[in-house]
Every structure is written in C-alpha cells, then in structure tokens.
C-alpha cells in the first residue's frame, strides 16, 4: 500500500485496528510511546524521526490488514 507513509498513526489505527499492535511493537526502539506522542504524525515522519525502516514497518502493517 503506497500511501501508508503519508497517513497519520491515528488514521492507520482507526482504519485497521490490528495495526496498533504493530505500531506499539516499535515503542522500545523509539524509546517512547508512539501512540501517545505521535498519534497525529505521519508514518513517514515517525520512521524518519526514530530511524525505523519504513519498508519494514509497512510490510508488518500490510500483513495484519
């Protein structure tokens, strides 16, 4: 899904409930609760900020949707 990177975390989790587990699995790597602190940021922004590989998280999200 191409446009995932431009969606906010809130939009992703609202549309696909199971994606919350995927996003939360990156909290430790980021050193913060992504849902608490970046709900209104795009997936691309979060990945860039915390050096999370965008392709990796997109694949995991796509698996649960």
Instruction: Kindly list the domain boundaries of the chain, sorted by start residue.
Output: 2-64
pLDDT of residue 17: 96
Residue 56 has what pLDDT?
A: 97
Tens-place pLDDT, residues 20-65? 999 999 999 999 999 999 999 999 999 999 999 999 999 999 999 9
pLDDT for position 25 = 98
pLDDT at 55: 96
As a whole number of angstroms, the distance between CA 31 and CA 4 comes to: 22
Distance CA 30, CA 28 (A): 5
Which pLDDT score is estimated for 1? 67
Euclidean distance between CA atoms 23 and 57, whole angstroms: 8
Let me know: does 12 contact 43? Beta carbons within 8 Å. Answer: yes
For residues 47 and 4, the answer to whether their CB atoms sit within 8 Å is no
């Amino acid at each position: 899904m191409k446009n995932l990177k431009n969606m906010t975390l809130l939009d992703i989790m609202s549309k696909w409930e199971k994606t919350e587990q995927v996003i939360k699995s990156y909290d430790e790597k980021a050193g913060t609760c992504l849902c608490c602190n970046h709900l209104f940021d795009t997936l691309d922004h979060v990945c860039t900020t915390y050096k999370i590989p965008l392709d990796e998280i997109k694949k995991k999200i796509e698996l649960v949707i």
